[in-house]
Structure 1
Amino acid sequence: MSKVQDSAPVADTAPDSGPARGRPARGRRAGPGRPEGTSNVRDQILDAAELEFANLGYAGTSLRNVADRAEVTQALISYYFGSKHGLFEEVFLRRGRKIADERMERLEALRRGPAPPPVRDIVYAFLMPALAMRETEGGRTFMRLQARLHTEPPEISYKLRNEAYDASTRIFAAALKEALPHLSERDVYWRMTLMIGAYLYAFSDTHRLEELAPGICNPGDPDEIITEISSFVSAGMLAPVPEPARG
């Protein structure tokens, strides 16, 4: 397939004509109009970049590699995303926001029930959107990208994690605190963070469990993995508060 050319519409330069019609102002999240005849090219670029970033990390990925994989020109990538950093942001937030939104939908559904939701149901609502995404081809790539994000420099990773997840994670922490009155806020956030670490590893296709226990465990089975991780995390959430360590 030949590369999609940089055929973006030419901006209208007539006096007092307002913003250029061919190239909208670069708002932080607004995507520009697609060049005529390439209706899926933006997603094509995002999919290619997602795979490159997941495999090579931010520093190891070049726009040239993304362009080659997406079969477009580098100029077209710049047209849509401005820079490699802009592309990385769009790649991460595309699915990260979806996970956060689905978590909130599940939690709100639990809260509409006749009784306060139990801990295991809250844990399940937090974990299931990421697992459901993992069951798609692009979602599996995103799980690896998300795990890798924690090894990226702070100037790359902190802002993206905060933007995608902070609001919903704090709401889940409050729900867990309500369900676990014996825990302090500090305890809840520690246990939430350990849950996040567990699911990032478990959902990231490291294949470590198959190596350790070949033919015994099947982390590729979504029912098996959600049962095991929900049981593990719920038990950790419900554990008594440990006594302070004595030196």
Structure 2
Amino acid sequence: MDAITDEAGGKRARGLDRAFEILDFLRQKRQALKPNEIAAQIGAPRSSVYELVNLLLRNGILEFTGGEGRVYLGRKLYFLGAAYENHFDFTRECEAALERLADETRETAQFCMLDGNKYTVVRMREGARPFRISADIGQSVPIPWTASGRLLVAHMTDEEILAFIPPEDFRLPNGEWLEPAAFLAQARQAWRDGFFTFNSIVDSFTHCFAVPVMDEGHAAATLCLVAPRADGIANRDRYLDSLKMAAAGLSHAPRRG
């Protein structure tokens, strides 16, 4: 009987893993897809994907949209997220910190975290400049491409970092290869300095600043500024002071309501 129970429990666990894989895949694709397209692109059996999609549709986690049987993330997820934010006071603290940063610097302020082994912008407040620097909130980006990435993995050992970051993520958007040893050295220096700044790897006209938001001895998140390159370099010290003050407040903010 125990063997049967364990096997059934294992199947349920694998089903949950696959369901979350489907949801995360749709989040990353940001478009409605047919179940057979999802199955082909995540390398899963069509039968199990169809079964899970139907289960998620019945529960409002997925919805039909776009015609021809395409599905996308459902409105139930919005209500779940709203309930989470209502319970999680830290979210409101983040919004206030981003608003202050954007007002003080006139630059785009971001709150960033790890999403699995990728980096993502969780919250953003655009600055008051005539032209706007924006990013897709929730989009997964390779860790080595970002200023925040150095800080978010700095609590790990070198071996843990190299096992955590997919090797292909050291290939930069311009096709150049970032030596993992150089990334590790930058992560160690960023941890000692308490910040990291650089000319953006993703585009050619911005300068990025990141400071850690600490939780139990490691960077649970970062606060960032994205500025036009010349202005970022000219205002480096002032921008870092603003970021450090805001991050220090968040590092001690209550996590629960």
Q: TM bucket by the smaller chain?
A: 0.3 to 0.5
Give the TM-score normalised by structure 1: 0.34
Between Structure 1 and Structure 2, which shows a larger proportion of strand residues? 2
Between Structure 1 and Structure 2, which shows a larger proportion of helix residues? 1
Give the TM-score normalised by structure 2: 0.33
Greater relative contact order (CA < 8 Å, ≥ 6 in sequence):
1
